């Protein structure tokens, strides 16, 4: 019997195993398309559903790249996570340099969310409505968010309410990083989502991005406790942008790949054990398509498949975690 693929094992557990999809690779690379369709039952457009790609001008929406990804997902029985409606990054110059006041920014964000979520109603089943909405010391751009500075903290409530109005069937997530192992960030997200829920905001889940490294992988017990904490609020939990950097790790390349496999195993087990689990998405299909080398300026191999599209020890480890 052939070993079942990731998506078959995930489906058997009621889980989605997704991948962030690069629109150009999907368009141009047959091997990419084949690997994506074979192994994953979910997709997140890596960039095509962000504000700037969708809105080159205030009076124009460009859905072409997102439509291609959504169509591919539909053709291959894959769930689509929309990412991200309100974020401080990937914003077009006409917006950030527009000098808009509170009322106009509110109207712009409302129009954006209503149009985009409405356009994909029933086809994008989950949305990262707000991404990285909490100020953090290491990224001052978050506190300088045009939405937070221009509209005020109320933009979070409004964004969720507008998304729900545009597609009542979509599951709406708050998505953020740095909280996988608990601690101050997890506590800050907990306080934020409790406030949203207390005000009757339609919030259905928390996305923990899962951008980790060999040196920063969360303690499995702490991750399990973090997921349980949000589930206790009635929220679904997902690992939404998983990659495991090798840089910063010790040992030979083989030893680091083995250590990376251990982290993927732990993350997979956590996703399977999460009380209100929904899924785990890796942030790219192969190492060739990862954002990390460009971000850090150093080579890395953070994903499940190598630059030659071959499965790595991390793939086998995640598959074993899903087999239980
Ligand atoms: O498509 C344009 C291309 O036309 C242009 O020639 C080129 C050079 O300017 O830029 C291309 O757009 C780039 C895009 O990726 C597609 O490659 C943007 O400049 C670049 O900023 C963008 O980076 C993405 C980044 O988010 C910012 O949006 C990364 O691919 C993506 O992996 C990264 O993902 C984020 C999540 O959305 C949120 N969580 C953190 C995560 C990592 O930063």
Check whether 96 has a pLDDT greater than 80: yes
Q: 291: Cβ below 6 Å to ligand 1? A: yes
Least confident of 90-104, 227-241, 268-282: 268-282
Please enumerate in sequence order all residues whose Cβ is within 8 A of that of 41, keeping only pairs 6 or more positions apart, or say none. Answer: 7, 10, 11, 16, 17, 18, 77, 78, 79
Query: Alpha helices of the chain — where are they, by DSSP H?
Result: 6-12, 23-28, 30-39, 51-54, 64-75, 93-96, 102-119, 146-150, 154-166, 183-198, 220-231, 253-273, 292-296, 313-323
Regarding the beta carbon of 91 and ligand 1, being less than 6 Å apart is answered: no
Return the residue whose CA atom lies nearest to atom 20 of ligand 1: 90
Cβ atoms within 10 A of the Cβ of 320, count?
A: 15
Closest CA to 179 of 197, 191, 171, 195: 191
Model pLDDT for residues 204-224, shown as the tens digit of each residue = 999 999 999 999 999 999 999
Q: Kindly name the residue from 39, 132, 180, 238 that is annotated as catalytic.
A: 132
pTM of the full structure? 0.97
Which atom of ligand 1 is nearest the CA belonging to 83?
Answer: 37
Token digits for 93? Answer: 């110059």
pLDDT digit string (tens) for 34-76?
999 999 999 999 999 999 999 999 999 999 999 999 999 999 9
Ligand 1 centroid – CA 65 distance (Å): 14
What mean pLDDT is predicted for residues 18-34? 98
Q: How far is CA 196 from CA 87, 237, 285, in A?
A: 17, 16, 33
Mean model confidence pLDDT for the chain: 96
Residue 302 predicted with pLDDT over 60:
yes
The 10s digit of each residue's pLDDT in 79-93 is 999 999 999 999 999
């Amino acid at each position: 019997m052939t070993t079942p693929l990731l998506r078959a094992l995930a489906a058997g557990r009621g889980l989605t195993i997704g991948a962030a999809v690069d629109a150009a690779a999907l368009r141009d690379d047959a091997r990419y398309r084949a690997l994506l369709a074979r192994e994953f039952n979910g997709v997140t457009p890596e960039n095509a559903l962000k504000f700037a790609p969708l809105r080159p001008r205030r009076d124009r929406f460009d859905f072409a790249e997102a439509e291609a990804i959504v169509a591919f997902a539909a053709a291959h029985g894959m769930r689509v996570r929309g990412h991200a409606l309100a974020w401080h990054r990937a914003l077009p110059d006409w917006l950030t340099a527009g000098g808009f006041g509170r009322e106009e920014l509110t109207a712009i964000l409302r129009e954006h969310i209503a149009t985009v979520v409405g356009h994909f109603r029933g086809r994008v089943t989950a949305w990262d409505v707000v991404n990285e909405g909490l100020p953090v010391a290491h990224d001052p751009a978050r506190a300088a968010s045009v939405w937070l500075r221009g509209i005020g903290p109320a933009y979070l409530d409004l964004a969720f309410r507008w998304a729900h109005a545009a597609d009542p069937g979509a599951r709406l997530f708050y998505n953020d990083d740095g909280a996988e192992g608990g601690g101050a960030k997890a506590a800050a997200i907990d306080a934020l989502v409790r406030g949203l829920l207390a005000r009757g905001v339609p919030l259905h889940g928390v996305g923990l991005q899962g951008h980790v490294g060999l040196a920063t992988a969360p303690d499995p017990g702490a991750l399990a406790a973090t997921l349980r904490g949000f589930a206790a609020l009635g929220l679904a939990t997902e690992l939404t942008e998983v990659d495991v950097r090798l840089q910063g790790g010790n040992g030979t390349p083989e030893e680091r790949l083995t250590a990376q496999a251990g982290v993927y195993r732990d993350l997979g087990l956590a996703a399977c054990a999460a009380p209100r689990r929904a899924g785990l998405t890796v942030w790219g299909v192969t190492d060739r398509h990862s954002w990390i080398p460009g971000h850090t300026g150093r080579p890395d191999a953070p994903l499940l498949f190598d630059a030659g599209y071959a499965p790595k020890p991390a793939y086998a480890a995640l598959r074993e975690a899903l087999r239980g």
